Amino acid sequence: MISRRDFLQATVAASAIWGADGVGRWSRLAAQQRLTQDQLLDFKSTGNVTLIHITDCHGQLVPDWFREPEVNLGVGAQKGLPPHVTGADFLKLYNIKPGTPEAYALTYLDFEAMAKTYGKMGGFDRLATVVKSIRAERPEALLLDGGDTWHGSYTVLKTKGQDMVNAMGALKPDAMTTHWEFTLGIDRVKEIVGTLPFAFLGANIFDATWDEPAFDPYKIFDRNGVKIAVIGQAFPYLPVANPKWMFPDLSFGIREDRMAAMVAEVKGKGADLVVLLSHNGFDVDRKMAAQVPGIDVILTGHTHDALPEPVLVGKTMLIASGSNGKFITRLDLDVQGKEIKGFRHKLIPIFSDVIAPDAEMAKLVADQRAPYEKEMAEVIGHTGSTLYRRGNFNGTWDDLICSALIEDRQADIALSPGFRWGPTVVADQPITREDLYNATAMTYPNAYRSEMTGAQLKAILEDVADNLFNPDPYYQQGGDMVRVGGMGYAIDVTKAQGQRLSNLTLLNTGEAVDPAKTYVIAGWGSINKDTQGPPIWDLVEGWVKRKGTVSVEPNHSVAVTTG
């Protein structure tokens, strides 16, 4: 009964999808003719439990492009393990042919051509079609949202998350956990949670003053006679990665002992299946699976990984469902005698040109966006190169932002946070205001200008590097490496904290960064409360408008050693 993999198995040969016009209309049609909604949704049901998982949609109500990372390094025991496999190595690992829909959805390879062939992905109206299809067959299915939902777009910012609350409410999830939601501020979060018709879970969220649980840690569902305990785990490092002043009375943390206690508690209440709905990040969840016995399934989030197979750690199954609404996971389980006797898994790619939009959700999405359509649709410039963010070190969106910061803030060096969120703009396309906000929309956007010595700058970068490359996953505090404009450096990810970076060099002069010299630094996304400066979207919009057309050349200013 156990299926190793049940991902989309398209048989399109590369030669069949390339038309005479390269990546134009005819090749798009060829791809569509060979991909059907029935094929994407085909699934041989099994067992008595169905879980549906979506995570990290980051406010993306409509279809978008999202380029998967070119570099996703694992360190220590995680080196070379999924999800730290990309490109051709990823295709080889999962036996995926180049040029197929799978290759487009799951890797960065030939992204521009493939994007114009297979189109955008996601869209809540398409997600609704998939969810309704599964529920029509399996009415007892649980839909679980891994968080980072009320964040990341123009409409989220303008409605304080209400657009996503309304859209997700229409999908009718059974539970969610959280991360960026708290950057709306604790008062707004409490206001929304008070209206939710489903569970808002965070076993690791505590009142900082009284050291008491602040939200429900779990909920037990009875489906088909199976007691399913869903435990929520919010992002552990919220007060480190995001502004603590926005939720001053809360504490988070991994709280491994707390998780073990919750597993024991739900089992004591008769749970037949224990599901962890997590926003820890994949490597943290992998370690937790090894450290905390009794968790049957971890639905992992935060690191935006999309894997076409479960990863097994002992008896615990880790499921990664991607980001930006590109995928939904369906997991069928045969639970007997409090054990999983069999399963079938499918990572369903949401090709928006193939899956028909659900009319009810399409109207709701249109209604949420209607007051802002004119402003969002305004073209602020054009791009001659693909603008993307995801990757451990470089992303062309952030290279563009850094260039704008250096010029407008008259800085020597620019820093752009290593956020994973933000869809892609394909080359030779207009850049709209919505595109810009998709990469910058947050509640602490001020573009600062400050001074620091070369030694201080290196110390900051070393701290960020340790957050990413500490070999113990419990010390990895989220995000990718801060993007740097105007300066190059070398990094050895295998070295100890404080020793990873070297050869810091100013790109415009070729001079080494002097530890004792003071430099003007521009950046944005500071977690300090009183940060001064214009909103980053205003600064970048003005810069792009002045340029008209922008092209961002490949960035080779970071030399990486992986051991």
HEC profile of 120-143: CECCHHHHHHHHHHHHHHCCCCEE
Residue by residue, what is the 3-state secondary structure of 345-397? EEEEECECCCCCCCHHHHHHHHHHHHHHHHHHHCEEEEECCCECCCCCCCCHH
What number is the average pLDDT over the span 234-238? 97
Confidence check: pLDDT of 414 > 60: yes
Q: What is the CA radius of gyration of the chain?
A: 23
Per-residue pLDDT at 563 = 82
Q: Which two tokens stand for residue 466?
A: 């340790």
Q: What one-letter code names the amino acid at 402?
A: C
Share of the chain above pLDDT 90, in %: 92
Per-residue pLDDT at 34 = 76
Confidence check: pLDDT of 269 > 80: yes
Share of the chain above pLDDT 70, in %: 94
**How much is the pTM?**
0.94
Length of the chain in residues, anyone?
563
Residues 288, 203 contacting (CB under 8 angstroms): no
Q: Which two tokens stand for residue 235?
A: 């992002």
**Nearest-angstrom CA–CA distance, 191 and 193:** 6
Per-residue pLDDT at 232 = 98
The structural architecture, per CATH, of the domain 14-368 is 4-Layer Sandwich (3.60)
Residues 251, 208 contacting (CB under 8 angstroms): yes
Q: What one-letter code names the amino acid at 302?
A: H
pLDDT tens digits for range 360-405: 999 999 999 999 999 999 999 999 999 999 899 989 999 999 999 9
What number is the average pLDDT over the span 409-425? 97
Per-residue pLDDT at 33 = 53
What number is the average pLDDT over the span 188-199? 98
pLDDT band at 98, cuts 50/70/90? Answer: very high
The residue extents of the domains of the chain are 14-368, 378-561
Per-residue pLDDT at 192 = 98
What number is the average pLDDT over the span 539-559? 96
**Nearest-angstrom CA–CA distance, 266 and 271:** 6
Q: Which two tokens stand for residue 116?
A: 């114009």
Per-residue pLDDT at 27 = 45
**Nearest-angstrom CA–CA distance, 386 and 395:** 10
Helix (H/G/I), strand (E/B), else coil: 536: helix
CA-based nearest residue to 415, from 518, 524, 556, 498: 524
Residues 286, 265 contacting (CB under 8 angstroms): no
Residues 250, 186 contacting (CB under 8 angstroms): yes
What number is the average pLDDT over the span 138-159? 98
H or E element in which residue 163 lies: helix 162-171
Q: In this structure, how many other beta carbons lie within 10 angstroms of the beta carbon of residue 553?
A: 8
**Nearest-angstrom CA–CA distance, 287 and 77:** 10
**Nearest-angstrom CA–CA distance, 62 and 347:** 20
Average pLDDT along the chain: 93
Phi-psi region of 51 (alpha: psi -120 to 50; beta: other; left: phi over 0): beta
Q: How far is C-alpha 554 from the geometric centre of its chain's CA atoms?
A: 23
| Range with lowest mean pLDDT among 227-231, 446-450, 475-479 | 475-479
Q: What homologous superfamily is domain 378-561 in, according to CATH?
A: 5'-Nucleotidase, C-terminal domain (3.90.780.10)
Residues 96, 103 contacting (CB under 8 angstroms): yes
CA-based nearest residue to 487, from 499, 464, 504, 469: 504
Per-residue pLDDT at 16 = 25
Per-residue pLDDT at 394 = 87
Q: Which two tokens stand for residue 173?
A: 């999830």
What number is the average pLDDT over the span 516-543? 97
Tokens 């600064």 correspond to: 539
pLDDT tens digits for range 25-43: 434 544 555 789 999 999 9
When comparing pLDDT for 322 and 32, which is higher? 322
| Range with lowest mean pLDDT among 16-20, 32-36, 307-311, 430-434 | 16-20
Per-residue pLDDT at 9 = 33
Helix (H/G/I), strand (E/B), else coil: 244: helix
What number is the average pLDDT over the span 162-184? 98
Per-residue pLDDT at 442 = 97
**Nearest-angstrom CA–CA distance, 41 and 470:** 39
Residues 405, 487 contacting (CB under 8 angstroms): no
Confidence check: pLDDT of 46 > 60: yes
